[in-house]
Structure 1
Amino acid sequence: MTLSGIVLDSPDARELAAFYQRLLGWSVVQDEPEWVKLGAPGGGPGLSFQTESAYVRPVWPAGPDDPQMSVHLDIHVEDLDQAGAHAEKAGATKADFQPQDDVRVYLDPAGHPFCLFL
């Protein structure tokens, strides 16, 4: 078995794919009305987005009655401040809760948390 990709649900696949394209600089390798796949420049698993009409935005950090996140992305960076500024310019929001000093948690436009780490 080979992992070929990670899929994130969203109310708008194209909108979320465009955000990650700005954030990561990856290219679109598949573009359908409700499905978009980005490919990593060096190969490996892609990152895909599917439109889900019943999508419920997760809450970070989730409380007992909040929608739970089911996955998050870890993105290695060389400089947290520079990478954070880039993420915000791309459309991310810095999460209010930051659990570690050497990690920054951001939310993508659909509310999926992702971590920038050194």
Structure 2
Amino acid sequence: MPLQLKLSAITLDCPDPMALAAFYQQATGLPLHPKSNADFAGLDCEDDVFIGFQRVDGYRAPQWPEQTVPQQLHMCFKVKQPLDQVEARLLELGAGRPEHQPHGDKARVLTDPVGHPFCIVKERG
């Protein structure tokens, strides 16, 4: 019988938890967790999933797609709006756009302000 594991949290290393939480809060509209602080911040997601951001001294940004500093985690977000529109807004918020884009017009790979890669994917239907 398989275990009944349910994802409850994802935590990203970063140099400034409140700043990275603010980026993802603006990007997703998710509420800031009330106990967020300078060392650990978080966003409350649907279905009791939590995205956390923990301070790491000497943080080194991932180098995607190279693995000189491994990406450690890669999140994907479904979007209803056109990818160009969502990408433009995320770039305004401080995201980066790596040159390497392996998914063609089906998805975009971006990086958050501290270098974690993530994708935006057009929601079907």
TM-score by length of 1: 0.91
Residue pair 2:77, 2:121 contacting (<8 A) in 1 also: yes
Find the counterpart in structure 1 of residue 38 from structure 2. 33
- The alpha-carbon deviation at position 43 of structure 1 amounts to 3.4
SS state at 1:93 partner: coil
Gaps in structure 2 of 5+ consecutive residues: none
Q: Secondary structure at the match of 2:47?
A: coil
Counterparts of 2:15 and 2:54, CA distance in 1:
8
Residue number in structure 1 paired with 2:73: 71
Aligned length: 115
Task: Write the mapping of 1:75-94 to structure 2, written as runs, cut at 5 A.
Answer: 75-78=77-80, 79-94=82-97
2:8 to 4, 25, 29: 4
| Percentage identity across paired residues of the two chains | 35
RMSD: 1.3
Alignment of 1:47 onto 2:61: no
Stretches of structure 1 lacking an aligned partner (at least 5 in a row): none
Dislocated runs of 4+, deviation >2 Å: none
Please name the residue that 2:110 is paired with: 106
2:25 alignment counterpart = 21
State the one-letter code of the partner of 2:44.
G
Task: Work out which of the two has the higher radius of gyration on C-alpha atoms and give 1 or 2.
Answer: 2
